[in-house]
């Protein structure tokens, strides 16, 4: 499905991308969201969000500015708000919000799209329901819903590449991965410097 959206957007001028994830996290902080053990949720899920966005839009990040809400004494970040400027002049906003709500669940599909893409002439939105159900729409029209687990799929491809010694099926290499990790690390640095705008080196 992501490849299908990429093909659709490749023929259009993307002006804005947005990733929005409100989370209900309550109770002990999972190790994958702890800054001490994993670098925090912005590093962990921010890399997924930006990687998929880069894949679907074909755009690279040129500048980053980010802010964070983490009251003193709280181990968990309550919100991360990241602004990116793409090399084509387009923009992106990444928003992670922790609601700290117990026994609260959004009924049905997410109340907001996980991924949104604006282009000259319209809008694409992608929802994530329960982690494995993915409906998407173009200009308000439901295109289709697909059931799949992208992370399990990545794991299978990687395991087979190691087993066979053939990395041909791996969708991106180490250098490409740096183009995702670099802007996210810049976002984390920006939060530490009061929202300073940081330039990101273009891909080599």
Looking at residue 180, its pLDDT comes to: 94
Looking at residue 129, its pLDDT comes to: 83
Three-state DSSP at 129 gives strand
Looking at residue 102, its pLDDT comes to: 55
For the chain, domain boundaries: 2-191
Query: ∠ CA 128-134-135 to the nearest 5 degrees?
Result: 105
Helices H / strands E in the chain, number of each: 4, 9
Low-confidence residues of the chain: pLDDT under 50? 107-108
The CATH architecture of the domain made up of 2-191 is 2-Layer Sandwich (3.30)
Looking at residue 62, its pLDDT comes to: 97
Three-state DSSP at 43 gives helix
b/e per residue 119-155 (b: at least 16 CB within 10 A):
beeeebbbbbeeeeebbbbeeeeebeeeeeeeeeeee
Looking at residue 128, its pLDDT comes to: 87
- Residue 50's nearest CA partner among 40, 39, 41, 61 is 61
Instruction: Give the span between the Cα atoms of 93 and 16, in whole angstroms.
Output: 8
**Are 53 and 47 contacting, i.e. CB atoms less than 8 angstroms apart?**
no
Please report where in the chains the tokens 């080196």 appear, as a residue.
Answer: 201
Strand order in the sheet with 79-86: 141-147, 133-138, 122-126, 115-119, 14-23, 91-98, 79-86, 61-69, 198-199
Looking at residue 26, its pLDDT comes to: 60
DSSP H or E stretch at residue 162? helix 150-164
Looking at residue 197, its pLDDT comes to: 98
């Amino acid at each position: 499905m992501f490849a299908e959206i990429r093909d659709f957007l490749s023929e259009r001028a993307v002006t804005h991308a947005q990733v929005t994830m409100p989370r209900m996290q309550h109770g002990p902080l999972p190790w994958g969201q702890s800054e001490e053990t994993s670098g925090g949720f912005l590093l962990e899920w921010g890399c997924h969000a930006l990687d998929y966005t880069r894949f679907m839009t074909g755009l690279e990040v040129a500048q980053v500015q980010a802010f964070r809400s983490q009251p003193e004494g709280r181990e968990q970040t309550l919100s991360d708000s990241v602004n990116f400027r793409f090399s084509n002049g387009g923009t992106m906003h990444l928003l992670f919000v922790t609601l700290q709500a117990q026994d609260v669940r959004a009924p049905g599909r997410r109340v907001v799209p996980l991924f949104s893409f604006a282009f000259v002439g319209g809008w694409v939105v992608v929802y994530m329901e329960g982690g494995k159900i993915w409906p998407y729409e173009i200009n308000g029209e439901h295109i289709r819903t697909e059931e799949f687990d992208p992370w399990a799929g990545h794991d299978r491809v990687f395991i087979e590449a190691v087993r066979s010694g053939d990395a041909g099926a791996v969708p991106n290499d180490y250098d490409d991965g740096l183009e995702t990790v670099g802007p996210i690390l810049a976002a984390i640095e920006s939060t530490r410097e009061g929202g300073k705008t940081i330039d990101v080196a273009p891909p080599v």
